[in-house]
Amino acid sequence: FFSIGVAGFPEGHIDCPDKETDSRYLKIKIDTGGEFVITQLFFNNKDYFEYLERVRKIGVTVRIIPGIIPITNYQQLLRFCKTCGATIPQRVHEIFKPLDGDAEATYKAGVQFTVEQCNELLEGGAPGLHFYTLNKVDPTREILNKIKR
């Protein structure tokens, strides 16, 4: 079995001038053979749901699977998001900045935050979840054991 997945950007691609243009690029990827979408990471679920609405309006009907990254290191999160252009909501800073340097507390808060994010996405109709594990399987395993099914 072979299928083609493509990247999607709920907040718009870092190099794209606006979300509408980015959405048109997604439509082109789907029209040329993309069968499903995995999104770039995001932390505000509103971005995902608005993205769905935006691309559905232009005829994108394939599964759009949210890309999730468990937060386990605040400094790494800052660097990663700067590189890919993902926005870190104020709420995330408020939770994780005070924990910076405390690996255990960050891990626990990261699991809790991600469980809540995943539950909201699934309850809102997400067809599944894609985890960016960064070779750290333990937080993802714990999250999977805690999300509602």
Per residue in 7-57, pLDDT tens? 999 999 999 999 999 999 999 999 999 999 999 999 999 999 999 999 999
The residue type at 141: R
Q: Sort 46 into a burial class: Cβ within 10 Å, 0-12 / 13-18 / 19+.
A: exposed
Per residue in 59-106, pLDDT tens? 999 999 999 999 999 999 999 999 999 999 999 999 999 999 999 999
Return d(Cα 57, Cα 89) in angstroms, integer: 26
Return d(Cα 111, Cα 117) in angstroms, integer: 10
Q: What is the pTM of this model?
A: 0.95
Q: Which domains does the chain have, with CATH numbers?
A: 5-146 (3.20.20.220)
Residue 149 has pLDDT above 80, yes or no: no
